Amino acid sequence: MPSLGTWLAAFFTLCMLSFLYKDNPFFRLAESFFAGLSLGYYIGIVMNQTLKPNLVLPLIHDFGANWNLVFAAGLGVILYFRYIKRVAWVSRWALAVYVGYYVGVNMMQKLHGEVIPQIGDSMLSLSYSGVGTLWNLIMVVGVLSVLIYFYFSVEHKGLIGGISRIGIWFLMISFGAAFGYTVMGRISLLIGRMVFLVNEWAKPLIGSIT
Amino acid sequence: MNLERVMQVDRRIIYLFIAIGTILPILFVIGLPVSITPPVQMAFDRIENQLQKGDVVLISFDYGPSSAPENAPMADAFLRHCFSKGIKVVVIALYPLGGLSEAVNEVSKVAAEFPELEYGVDYVNLGYKDGAQAAMKKMAENIHEVFPTDMRGTPLSELPIMQNIRTYRDMKLVVSLATGIIGEWWANLVNAQFGIPVIVGPTAVSAPKYYAYLEAKQMAGLLGGLKGASEYERLVVEKYPKLAEVYATPGLYTATKGMDVQSIVHMIMIAFIVLGNIVYFTSRKKPRKAS
Amino acid sequence: MKRQLPLLLTFLAGTIPIVAFFVPQRHVGLVSTNLDSWLIIVAGFALLLGVVNVIQMNANKIRRQAPGWPYAIVLLLGLAIMGFFGFAGAFNVFGGIATRPDGSSTPFDWLYKYGFLPLQGTMFALLAFFMASASYRAFRARNPEATILLVAALIVMFGRIPFGEMVSPWFPRVTEWIMSKPNMAAQRGIMIGAALGAASMALRVILGIERSYLGLGKGE
């Protein structure tokens, strides 16, 4: 016989799947409960895995060496001032630091980690050396035509229009491939749930009945 | 045949086909062979041929239940591979919605298959940390400041495996099992700025984009979705035949078994798409024939 | 002060990681690495902002007895139960939030395995059905571009399954070629364009030209 936990999981799974027939209160119930659980999960992991080991315990055990963490805590608490009308403007300070930091990190990440290596790897040899040259040509033409397609400051007609069209074809191949992979991805998620329902719930249930 | 009726078929009939196509191969396992692709072979070769016993690999659980059926088999295969080869594993999680729990459950499941390994000596789970990019940057300087304790609160100073591990330089490889953007950050931030090789196991939805990183050598290997996971399972079982027993456990969900189901449902979807287009073209030609 | 200080803070917080990237560690190390440590903590606080927001919204919904208010109670109930065990775990009550050393589940982990995981997993699994229905109804070779998309999709869908290789070993080879050549080229083009856009947006935010994230318009 399936355990209590398995029964609960099967119940929730079937509630969600019932939406395929039509929207119904069981689905709404499961959906709302899921939303609540996910927020409760955030509380658990943030408190246990970040705030306790990285803030609270260092301050308690060695305040002298970790006093600067008080500023981090301050910034974090200030974020919540947005819910108090009189001092909501103070929360902008914490938001400014938070957004500024991640935007700065992101800028270097994009330029150094994406633009430069990707452009660098696009500098492929086009001198004849067998079929590899053809593939290099395809890649160079593909990258350039897609970049030109996305350059909207110039009207797409004439030569630019022609190159853009080639870019669109490359994009269509890429989106087709992405669609194929997306189908695979979505089906994988369904397989996971069905394997649970069949192997962990239905089979033990039928086995215990017969 | 009334073509309009074919096109107007109730969507629940389509759902039924998909459901039957999913359930039948689960009940009646086919066992179709899986072919290996170069990106997965590269990932396998990196661990098998370029790492030695005692080297340290960082495995980052950057996924949750939303993609667990794809990423969990990858995680299991990587853990089994590392444990079989005697490679030490440091596990972290950077995905907030389920990363920690997936790491806990998968590591404990696979570690139970290797009773000779000791927690804290051969592998460790450091848990989850917020602020993924900040954590990744800080780990280049001092992992002990990012993860002062393991996921249960044991200080790293009490864990033998972490005594000589301070930064990325003390590790040979990072493996990220990712849904969403965190996998990209390992490639375009950690590999780009700190040079440690990175293998990413993204979901199939994200996999096409990772080919650009792979070609630019920002990644050392790529496992795309369930197919990638099944390929890695095959490589691991061929190299370590003892693991075949584990993968043959009845009722155990593996990527290889999942590919059977994948094959059937793909064929159903291809049939629907082709049928839809046949009806479309036929209905376009008909008014011309009448005139 | 109310408007200028946040812009200055954004500039400083954004510039430090950029400068630290170019300048040797010994000159900016202390400031930069402290900022990294701080932002790990601030990110944790930021993640919980959403929780407060949702509690507020749903409490209002219940108070006003707006349509669907019973489901708001269910949501808050789920939040309270999971949140309670998560909060208690921080004080090592019930054994924490992971599994206990003997392998048994704590209440938090149990709720994850038998509540959260099936709910989220099934929610995403529904997409497979919707995808099948949408493909049947809408995926048409209406013009040359759509035909290219359709053909590429069918080749990849067929080439990535074992049946494809059983029919012909060329299917997986062509699929792999599509992924590593034309798809890669297009993805690279998209990536370069998007990265340049993101970098220029980042610069606008750091320099204070873009202020919408603070709730300020351009002229403020």
**Tens digit of pLDDT for each residue in C11-22?**
999 999 999 888
Which of A104, A149, A170 lies closest to C206 in CB terms? Answer: A104
Closest-approach residue (CA) in chain B for A200: B251
What is the pairing mode between strands B198-202 and B173-178?
Answer: parallel
Q: C105: which strand partners?
A: C99
What span, in angstroms and rounded, lies between the C-alpha atoms of B150 and B109? 18
CATH of B38-253, one of 3.40.50.150, 3.40.50.2300, 1.20.1300.10, 3.20.20.60: 3.40.50.2300
How many other CB atoms are found less than 10 A from the CB of residue A119? 15
State whether C46 and C149 are in the same domain: yes
What span, in angstroms and rounded, lies between the C-alpha atoms of B114 and A144? 51
For residue C220, pLDDT beyond 70: no
Q: Last residue of a domain, which of C118, C135, C156?
A: C156
Helix extents (H) in C65-168: 69-89, 107-111, 117-138, 144-159, 162-167
For residue C218, pLDDT beyond 60: no
Per-residue pLDDT of chain B (291 residues; tens, 9 = 90+): 566 677 778 889 999 999 999 999 999 888 888 999 999 999 999 999 999 999 999 999 999 999 999 999 999 999 999 999 999 999 999 999 999 999 999 999 999 999 999 999 999 999 999 999 999 999 999 999 999 999 988 999 999 999 999 999 999 999 999 998 999 999 999 999 999 999 999 999 999 999 999 999 999 999 999 999 999 999 999 999 999 999 988 878 899 999 999 999 999 999 999 999 998 888 876 655 444
Reported residue count of chain C is 220
State whether C73 and C161 are in the same domain: no
| Domain extents in chain B | 3-29+258-290, 38-253
Considering only CA atoms, which of A191, A33, A202 is closest in space to residue B68?
A191
CB B162 within 8 A of CB B144: yes
Rounded (to 5) percent helix, strand, coil in chain A: 85, 0, 15
Closest-approach residue (CA) in chain C for A103: C202
A123 lies within 8 A of chain B by CB: no
Q: B221: which strand partners?
A: B199
State whether C99 and C150 are in the same domain: yes
Residues of C in contact with A176 (CB under 8 A): 148-156
What is the value of pTM for the model shown? Answer: 0.94
The chain-wide mean pLDDT, for chain C, equals 91
| H or E segment to which residue C139 belongs | none
What span, in angstroms and rounded, lies between the C-alpha atoms of C141 and B279? 11
| Number of folded domains that form chain C | 2
Give the domain range for residue C205.
Answer: 157-220
For residue A76, pLDDT beyond 90: yes
Contact C39 B153 (CB under 8 A): no
Closest-approach residue (CA) in chain A for C110: A5
Closest-approach residue (CA) in chain B for A38: B97
What span, in angstroms and rounded, lies between the C-alpha atoms of B205 and B63? 13
Q: Last residue of a domain, which of C156, C174, C196?
A: C156
B71 Cβ contact list (under 8 Å, min separation 6): B61, B63, B102, B177, B178, B179, B201, B203, B229
End-to-end Cα separation, chain B, in angstroms: 20
State whether C181 and C219 are in the same domain: yes
What span, in angstroms and rounded, lies between the C-alpha atoms of A38 and A55? 23
Structure tokens at C173: 């080879």
State whether C24 and C133 are in the same domain: yes
State whether C65 and C109 are in the same domain: yes
State whether C109 and C57 are in the same domain: yes
B149 lies within 8 A of chain C by CB: no
Contact A105 B215 (CB under 8 A): no
For residue A126, pLDDT beyond 90: no
Sign of CA dihedral B115, B107, A12, B228: negative
A29 lies within 8 A of chain C by CB: yes
A201 lies within 8 A of chain C by CB: no
Contact C47 B104 (CB under 8 A): no
State whether C25 and C118 are in the same domain: yes
State whether C150 and C169 are in the same domain: no
Residues of C in contact with B34 (CB under 8 A): 162
Sign of CA dihedral B239, B242, B247, B248: positive
State whether C85 and C106 are in the same domain: yes
C45-to-A83, C84, C191 alpha-carbon distances in Å: 14, 17, 31
Contact A113 B188 (CB under 8 A): yes
What span, in angstroms and rounded, lies between the C-alpha atoms of C15 and C24? 15
Contact A182 B253 (CB under 8 A): no
A84 Cβ contact list (under 8 Å, min separation 6): none
Measured at the CA of B72, the angle between CA B68 and CA B77, to 5 degrees, comes to 165
What span, in angstroms and rounded, lies between the C-alpha atoms of A68 and A52? 16
State whether C174 and C110 are in the same domain: no
Chains with 3 or more CB pairs under 8 A to chain C: A, B
Indicate which of B14, B129, B253, B279 best probes the interface with C, i.e. most C CBs within 10 Å of its own CB. Answer: B14
| Domain extents in chain A | 1-67, 78-123, 125-210
Contact C186 A174 (CB under 8 A): yes
Contact C189 A143 (CB under 8 A): yes
Please tell me the predicted confidence (pLDDT) of residue C110.
Answer: 95
Indicate which of A101, A141, A175 best probes the interface with C, i.e. most C CBs within 10 Å of its own CB. Answer: A101
C63-to-B122, C50, C57, C83 alpha-carbon distances in Å: 54, 20, 10, 22
Q: Last residue of a domain, which of C121, C138, C156?
A: C156
Which of C44, C82, C185 lies closest to A142 in CB terms? Answer: C185
Pick from A76-80, A185-189, C26-30, C164-168: least confident: C26-30
Chains with 3 or more CB pairs under 8 A to chain A: B, C
Burial A131-156 (b: 16+ CB within 10 A, else e): eeeebbebbbbbbbbbbbbbeeeeeb
Which of A32, A143, A189 lies closest to C75 in CB terms? Answer: A32
Please tell me the predicted confidence (pLDDT) of residue B291.
Answer: 43
Percent of chain C whose predicted confidence (pLDDT) is above 90: 72
Residues of A in contact with B127 (CB under 8 A): 48-49
With H, G, I as helix, E, B as strand and everything else as coil, classify residue C211: coil
B228 Cβ contact list (under 8 Å, min separation 6): B37, B39, B40, B74, B201, B207, B222
What span, in angstroms and rounded, lies between the C-alpha atoms of C139 and C158? 16
Percent of chain A whose predicted confidence (pLDDT) is above 70: 100
Residue A150 is given by DSSP the state T
Please tell me the predicted confidence (pLDDT) of residue B290.
Answer: 46
What is the pairing mode between strands B56-62 and B173-178?
Answer: parallel
How far does Cα B214 stand from its chain's mean position? 16
What span, in angstroms and rounded, lies between the C-alpha atoms of A47 and C82? 13
Q: What ipTM, to 2 d.p.?
A: 0.91
For residue C33, pLDDT beyond 90: no
State whether C181 and C100 are in the same domain: no
CB C182 within 8 A of CB A138: yes
